[in-house]
Amino acid sequence: MMISKEKALPAKHIPQRSCVACRMVRPKREMVRLVSIAGGSVEVDNTGKKPGRGAYLCCRKECWDTGIRSGRLEHALKRHIVQEERNRLMKYAEATLYADSREGAE
């Protein structure tokens, strides 16, 4: 009697990243990448492919507050972030990320 040996397929690799604020490791797709571009500004990188030094934040309000206001994002990107950029990033988070969580709470 022959016993068939089925080859187990290797699990697909899911890239992991850590949040600069809470340090939780999560799948890359669940995080928001912020990138320091050559022009000297910080932008949200929705594609995950923009050139420049990048850092990741969770989609939680606390992480954005901590990351942007406490200087952890500055440390990760190795550059100073002016108040105007901080305000722009916080407005992005409020308009895009927090809106999703408010809709689910209703």
**Closest Cα partner for 97 from 2, 6, 32?**
32
What are the pLDDT digits (tens) for 41-84?
999 999 989 999 999 999 999 999 999 999 999 999 999 999 99
Stretch 21-45: mean pLDDT: 94
Is pLDDT of 1 > 90?
no
> What predicted TM-score, i.e. pTM, was given to this entire model?
0.81
Task: Find all residues with CB under 8 Å of 15, minimum gap 6, and list them.
Answer: 27, 28
**What CATH class is the domain 16-105?**
alpha beta
What are the pLDDT digits (tens) for 4-18?
566 778 889 999 999
- The domain spans of the chain are 16-105
